[in-house]
């Protein structure tokens, strides 16, 4: 919660079994969650993505991106 990722955040092919809390986090570089599985809630409320954010082919049970800011491209397809 409230973390800052200065380098590329590479979570490709990850499985999050419990609630994934990224509330208020800042991703200063690329955020890569491609093909990840969120088996519980993915909570990205109030997060800032300063660079590209990749969520393509990820599976969400329940995701919350409310009040988040995407300053570059965000890919969800």
Euclidean distance between CA atoms 40 and 63, whole angstroms: 9
Q: What is the pLDDT of residue 1?
A: 77
pLDDT tens, 6-46?
A: 999 999 999 999 999 999 999 999 999 999 999 999 999 99
Partners of 64 in beta bridges: 43
pTM: 0.93
Euclidean distance between CA atoms 19 and 28, whole angstroms: 23
Euclidean distance between CA atoms 57 and 13, whole angstroms: 10
How many C-beta atoms surround the C-beta of residue 42 within 10 A? 23
């Amino acid at each position: 919660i409230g973390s800052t990722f200065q380098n590329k955040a590479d979570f490709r092919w990850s499985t999050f079994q419990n609630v994934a809390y990224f509330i208020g986090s800042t991703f200063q570089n690329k955020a890569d969650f491609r093909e990840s599985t969120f088996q519980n809630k993915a909570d990205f409320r109030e997060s800032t993505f300063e660079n590209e954010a990749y969520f393509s082919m990820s599976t969400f049970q329940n995701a919350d991106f409310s009040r988040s800011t995407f300053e570059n491209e965000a890919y969800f397809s």
